[in-house]
């Protein structure tokens, strides 16, 4: 096998992003796309080029030529599709989160393990060249033992309320990326989570019992302290910065401006705005993550972001929500015990 034959389930925004990247990659052959709504895809260039467009996922799961599926449908369907795919021995790339329910995620992962297929979770930021270089520097010992890990993660604008309602809440929808990044950068597990959060941007978000502004403290097993700050609305743009402070130094990644151009005049000096949002900022990371997934299948390379990584980020999101609601530090063991019952 020198190409992975794939199908994509879910042709919304993120599904279309992956379809585009799959088509550009030399490691993939796209055989089918499934969605509940397929009218807009009928007669498209995709179909012309011989890709099967179907509303029935059975066309995918029962096709023995398909090696792997990309699950890009709505979150409530993820776990079910993972289980179905695993049972027919297809490798799985699944968008985050696996589910909103810890039990469901556990069941899905169990099936993946049993069937010995690869499951990669779409934590694309691990593949960002800036962030992965920070992690490299940390792992190579350039800054010694991590002591303070800081993640700034602010969206340019709050999502529409319809999205908020089915998002699982800010922690599960947005901070989950930062939880994953915190684990990735610290190379350690989180012991407890403490949240100060508020609804400062859009009162409608508050009405959904969700928050839009938060600072989150994490304690790690290796002694490091983590701090994440989130906002659903940074009017100056998509603010994505990280730093890892260790006993031997500091490594940090700053934002990316659109260009390096400066204009200086009587009014002052201005630099370019930040790349607009995740599709721009993580453009290359999205390309990179699917290359790695293909290599895990074709060359047996280890997964950079496994199902277990997905599960742990979900637990952290859950702990954060609990900390916010109960206004106290929540230990991860509380959740782990709770969920093994």
Which tokens belong to 196?
């100060």
Q: From the list 63, 204, 239, 295, which residue makes contact with a copy of itself (rule: CB under 8 A)?
A: 239
- Residue 179 · residue 317 · CB < 8 Å: yes
- Residue 252 · residue 146 · CB < 8 Å: no
- Residue 92 · residue 82 · CB < 8 Å: yes
DSSP secondary structure code for residue 236 in this structure: T
Which tokens belong to 327?
């206004």
Which of 88/215 has CB closer to a copy of itself?
215
DSSP secondary structure code for residue 127 in this structure: G
**Least Å distance between CB 106 and a copy of itself?**
29
Give dist(CA 338, CA 132) in Å, integer: 34
**Least Å distance between CB 338 and a copy of itself?**
21
Binding mask 311-330 for a copy of itself (x = CB under 8 A): ----------------xxx-
As a dihedral over the C-alpha atoms of residue 118, residue 123, residue 124, residue 130, rounded to 10 degrees, the angle is -120
Residues 26-45 binding a copy of itself (CB under 8 A) are 26, 45
Which of 92/151 has CB closer to a copy of itself?
151
Which of 208/234 has CB closer to a copy of itself?
234
Give dist(CA 65, CA 68) in Å, integer: 9
In residues, how long is the chain?
341
Residues 127-186 binding a copy of itself (CB under 8 A) are 129-130, 133-134, 137, 142-143, 145, 147-148, 150, 152, 154
Q: From the list 13, 37, 264, 340, which residue makes contact with a copy of itself (rule: CB under 8 A)?
A: 264
Give dist(CA 10, CA 190) in Å, integer: 33
3 state SS of 297? helix
308 binds a copy of itself per the rule CB under 8 A: no
Helix (H) or strand (E) holding 331: strand 330-331
Binding mask 273-302 for a copy of itself (x = CB under 8 A): x-----------------------------
Residues that bind a copy of itself (CB under 8 A): 24, 26, 45, 129-130, 133-134, 137, 142-143, 145, 147-148, 150, 152, 154, 194, 196-198, 200-201, 213-215, 217, 219, 223, 225, 227, 229, 231, 233-237, 239, 245, 247-266, 268-273, 327-329
């Amino acid at each position: 096998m020198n190409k992975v034959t794939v199908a994509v389930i879910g042709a919304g925004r993120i599904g279309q992003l992956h379809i585009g990247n799959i088509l550009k990659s030399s490691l993939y052959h796209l055989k089918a796309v499934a969605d509940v709504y397929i009218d807009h895809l009928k007669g498209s260039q995709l179909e012309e080029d011989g890709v099967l467009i179907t509303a029935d996922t059975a066309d995918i799961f029962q096709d023995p030529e398909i090696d792997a599926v990309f699950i890009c449908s709505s979150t409530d369907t993820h776990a079910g599709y993972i289980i179905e795919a695993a049972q027919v021995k297809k490798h799985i790339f699944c968008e985050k989160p696996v589910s909103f329910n810890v039990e469901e995620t556990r069941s899905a992962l169990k099936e993946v393990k049993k069937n010995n297929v690869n499951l990669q979770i779409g934590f694309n930021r691990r593949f960002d060249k800036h962030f992965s270089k920070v992690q490299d520097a940390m792992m190579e010992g350039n800054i010694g033992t991590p002591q303070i890990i800081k993640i700034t993660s602010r969206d340019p604008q709050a999502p529409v309320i319809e999205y908020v309602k089915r998002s699982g809440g800010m922690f599960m929808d947005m901070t989950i990326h930062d939880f994953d990044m915190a684990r990735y950068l610290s190379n350690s597990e989180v012991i407890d989570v403490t949240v100060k959060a508020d609804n400062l941007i859009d009162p409608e978000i508050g009405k959904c019992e969700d928050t839009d502004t938060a600072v989150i403290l994490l304690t790690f097993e290796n002694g490091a302290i983590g701090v994440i700050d989130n906002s659903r609305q940074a009017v100056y743009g998509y603010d994505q910065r990280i730093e890892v402070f260790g006993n031997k130094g500091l490594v940090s990644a700053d934002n990316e401006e659109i260009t390096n151009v400066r204009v200086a005049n009587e009014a002052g000096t201005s630099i370019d705005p930040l790349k607009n949002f995740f599709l721009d900022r993580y453009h290359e990371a999205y390309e990179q993550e699917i290359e790695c997934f293909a290599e895990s299948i074709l060359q047996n390379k280890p997964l950079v972001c496994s199902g277990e990584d997905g599960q742990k980020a979900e637990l952290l999101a859950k702990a954060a929500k609990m900390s916010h609601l109960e206004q106290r530090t929540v230990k991860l063991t509380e959740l782990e015990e709770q969920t093994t019952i």
